[in-house]
């Protein structure tokens, strides 16, 4: 894998707020969007100037959100042109856009394709319309299917699809239905998340007031087992806790792997994070403050945290353990001059006993049980 950096651009606007969402997003207001995107163009230019030429080389661009497909394709073009102008974008780069099925048609997808976008992540979440409505999604199952059919028509051959398991009141039968519909569409990649109920979300309030039932842990575990069985039987490789890729081909998310493999990335836009030279940077979390800061100073960094060697190693262990292949212990020792097994001997004996981790053929990895209870393992490295 190349160790070139990745570039993430955050588009913080959505048609409506999903009930479970805790991201920084707001609704689309023309003037605000214009000001925000103009600021983002400025941040792309000013960030590249801070980097030495070698660090300006990137091989992934990821347009995420929010909902990047909510802005006009002309704006997407301007953003990508700015990336090409100010960064050294490798010719084999993976360029991803997240889309809402309701936003796109053939014409728009052709536009994306002509811009060099070669990977599309479709936020489907469920193929059952009542469930989509319940969680505040503004697209239908039919629109999601049509979006994927249109992506194929236009020639996209690297499509990722997002699903959520454990939605309120979702039954195992409904989850199996969602999985079978997803598999019928044969996406190259699937990101599947167990629903998390975060404080300050509408869903949290609905559950607290008893209006909806909190997803049951046992049922969620059953859904997870069904998921693993179905995807393995259909030749998908489970390569990260929440991510699956077709075994035939190279469809792992090159961009997201940077987060898990301690490779630098630059996150631009409101609330975006960057990591390079052992420093984590976080941008401000308010869209208005972001715009003002960029307009006045060209940067909107709110927090800078230098990771000392020990913090860097602990983060690297925690993030690499998300990968199903685990950590190559020899390679890790050579890179970080750190012996994981010797250092965590005592703590690991309990995790091994509880069948949460395993060490085989020189790799340390989570077991299937450990994947379900990964937080119990990760807490060791915080």
Interface contacts to ligand SF4, rule CB under 6 A: 14, 17-18, 21, 23, 25, 65-67, 123
Q: Angle 106-114/141-154 helices, nearest 10 degrees?
A: 40
Q: CB-wise, 24 or 61, nearer to ligand SF4?
A: 24
- Which residues lie across from 149 on neighbouring strands? none
Region at 19 (left for phi over 0; alpha for psi -120 to 50; beta for the rest): alpha
Distance of CA 43 to the CA centre of its chain: 22
Q: CB-wise, 17 or 113, nearer to ligand SF4?
A: 17
Query: What span, in angstroms and rounded, lies between the C-alpha atoms of 277 and 129?
Result: 46
Q: CB-wise, 58 or 135, nearer to ligand SF4?
A: 135
Query: What span, in angstroms and rounded, lies between the C-alpha atoms of 235 and 342?
Result: 37
CB 331, min distance to ligand SF4, A = 36
CB 16, min distance to ligand SF4, A = 7
Q: CB-wise, 212 or 313, nearer to ligand SF4?
A: 212
Query: What span, in angstroms and rounded, lies between the C-alpha atoms of 42 and 274?
Result: 17
CB 198, min distance to ligand SF4, A = 11
Q: CB-wise, 17 or 176, nearer to ligand SF4?
A: 17
CB 28, min distance to ligand SF4, A = 11
375: CB partners within 8 A, 6+ apart = none
Q: CB-wise, 65 or 264, nearer to ligand SF4?
A: 65
Q: CB-wise, 70 or 371, nearer to ligand SF4?
A: 70
Helix (H) or strand (E) holding 342: helix 340-343
277: CB partners within 8 A, 6+ apart = 264
CB 136, min distance to ligand SF4, A = 7
Each residue of 258-281: b (16+ CB within 10 Å) or e?
Answer: bbbebbbbbbbbbbbebbeeeeeb
CB 74, min distance to ligand SF4, A = 22
Query: What span, in angstroms and rounded, lies between the C-alpha atoms of 263 and 278?
Result: 10
Q: Are 276 and 288 in contact (CB under 8 A)?
A: no
CB 122, min distance to ligand SF4, A = 12
């Amino acid at each position: 894998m190349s160790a070139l950096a990745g570039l993430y651009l955050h588009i913080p606007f959505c048609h409506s707020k999903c009930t479970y969402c805790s991201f920084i997003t707001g609704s689309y207001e023309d003037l605000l969007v214009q000001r925000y995107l103009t600021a983002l163009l400025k941040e792309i230019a000013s960030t590249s100037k801070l980097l030495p030429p070698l660090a300006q080389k990137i091989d992934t661009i990821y347009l995420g959100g929010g909902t990047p497909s909510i802005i006009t394709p002309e704006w997407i073009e301007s953003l990508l042109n700015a990336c090409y102008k100010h960064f050294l974008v490798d010719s084999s780069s993976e360029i991803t856009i997240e889309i809402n099925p309701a936003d796109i048609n053939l014409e728009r997808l052709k536009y994306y394709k002509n811009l060099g976008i070669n990977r599309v992540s479709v936020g489907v979440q469920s193929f059952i319309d009542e469930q989509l409505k319940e969680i505040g999604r503004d697209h239908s199952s039919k629109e999601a299917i049509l979006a994927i059919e249109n992506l194929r028509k236009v020639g996209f051959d690297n499509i990722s699809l997002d699903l959520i398991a454990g939605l309120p009141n979702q039954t195992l039968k409904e989850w199996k239905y969602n999985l079978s519909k997803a598999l019928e569409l044969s996406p190259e990649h699937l990101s599947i998340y167990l629903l998390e109920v975060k404080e300050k979300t509408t869903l949290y309030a609905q559950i607290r007031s008893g209006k909806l039932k909190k997803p049951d842990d046992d049922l969620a575990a059953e859904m997870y087992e069904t998921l693993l069985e179905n995807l393995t039987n259909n030749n998908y490789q489970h390569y990260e806790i929440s991510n699956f890729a077709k075994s035939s081909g190279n469809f792992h998310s090159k961009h997201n792997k940077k987060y898990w493999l301690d490779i630098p990335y630059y996150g631009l836009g409101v609330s975006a994070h960057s990591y390079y030279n052992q420093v984590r940077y976080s941008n401000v979390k308010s869209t208005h403050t972001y715009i003002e800061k960029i307009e006045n100073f060209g940067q909107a960094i709110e927090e800078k945290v230098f990771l000392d060697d020990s913090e860097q190693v602990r983060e690297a262990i925690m993030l690499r353990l998300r990968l199903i292949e685990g950590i190559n212990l020899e390679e890790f020792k050579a890179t970080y001059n750190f012996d994981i097994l010797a250092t965590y001997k005592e703590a690991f004996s309990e995790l091994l006993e509880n069948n949460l981790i395993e060490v085989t053929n020189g790799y340390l990895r989570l077991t299937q049980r450990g994947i379900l209870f990964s937080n119990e393992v990760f807490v060791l490295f915080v």
